[in-house]
Amino acid sequence: MALVMIMFMLCLLGFSPFSTLASPSSIITVSVFRKFFPSNIANPFYTYNNFIAATKYYPTFGSSGSLDVQKRELAAYFANVKQETGTLQYIREINRNNVYCDTSRGIPCPAGTKAYYGRGPLQLTWNYNYDAAGKAFNMNLLQNPDQVAQNGVLSWRSSVWFWMQNSNCHTAITQNQGFGATIRAINGGQECGKGSETQPAQNRINYYKDFCSQLGVSPGGNLGCA
């Protein structure tokens, strides 16, 4: 009876007694990282060690649920990273002339209306996202958003923060909603709900399936967001 109660309490707290605890570094090794992002393509700014350092801030990232779920989450994360950065080539958004300043939430744009373009592995964008990330990190990213493009650990951390705390990406995978939900969370307004898969969304799906294959796990269902 005591064992049953312990298992019940673990489930209430979000832990599965049947899960296999892992860590991102045990699934995404240096060699796997380099297969995903070859060094002749990826920008040297994006290092494996900085990625691992950033994951330490979020212990449940890539370590929740069964081993298959953990692998799917990391494959999903990196599939979106690959699409956002062109296989980790780009630190900053190519087109920096767009206005990502929305003051309707009471958050100003002290660095300028065009200063909040995409940066980092998931291309953190908009003044309100920089503000929220800065508060989470105890930093003033609203005043100086380019810190995300200058500090390697911070850059990775901003993307894992967005995945874990500023969107439903983590729960989309760990609660079996499917990869398509991560596309909606990251760029749904541009890529989803169009009646058929847009090319960027299809790219993400293809990358996800490829990474799942490399990690030896099935991709699951609900992959698209059309």
Residues identified as active-site: 84
Residue 197's region, left for phi above 0, alpha for psi from -120 to 50, else beta, is: beta
Angle between helices 152-165 and 67-85 (to 10 degrees): 120
Judged by DSSP in three states, 74 sits in helix
Q: In 3D, which of 50, 71, 18 has the Cα closest to residue 156?
A: 50
Judged by DSSP in three states, 98 sits in coil
Query: What is the length of the chain?
Result: 226
User: Residue 3 and residue 98: Cα distance in Å, rounded?
Assistant: 57
Q: What angle do CA 35, 124, 129 make, to 5 degrees?
A: 150
| Lookup result for tokens 């992959």 | 223
Q: What is the 8-class DSSP label of residue 88?
A: T
Judged by DSSP in three states, 111 sits in coil
